[in-house]
Amino acid sequence: MNIKSKSALISLLKLLAELIAVVMVLIVAFYGKGNTGNDRRSDGSLQKVLDAGQLVLGLDANFPPLSFTDSTGEIVGFDPDMFRVLCNRLGVRLVTRPVHWGHKQDALDEGTIDCIGSVSLQSPSARGMAMSEVYIKEDLVFMVPGNSRIMSVRDLKGKRIGVQNGASMQTAINRSVISKDVIFSVYDDNLEVLRQLKEGKLDAGLVDGTVAYYFMDASPERYFVLGDTLGEDELAIGFRKGDIDLRDKVQEVLSGMRFDGTLAVISKKWFGIDVTTIR
Q: What is the mean pLDDT of residues 44-63?
A: 96
| 59-63, 171-175, 246-250: segment of lowest average pLDDT | 171-175
Does position 46 have pLDDT exceeding 80, yes or no?
yes
Alpha-carbon gap, residue 268 to 266, rounded angstroms: 6
Topology classification of domain 45-135+235-271: D-Maltodextrin-Binding Protein; domain 2 (3.40.190)
Topology classification of domain 138-234: D-Maltodextrin-Binding Protein; domain 2 (3.40.190)
Pairing of strands 160-164, 204-208: parallel
Q: Angle at which helices 262-271 and 78-90 pack, to 10 degrees?
A: 160
Convert the pLDDT of each residue in 220-237 to its tens digit: 899 999 998 888 889 999
Quote the percentage of the chain above a pLDDT of 70: 86
Q: What is the pLDDT of residue 223?
A: 93
pLDDT band at 28 (very low <50, low <70, confident <90, very high): very low
46 and 247 in contact (C-beta within 8 Å)?
no
Alpha-carbon gap, residue 225 to 209, rounded angstroms: 9
| DSSP, res 112 | S
202 and 163 in contact (C-beta within 8 Å)?
no
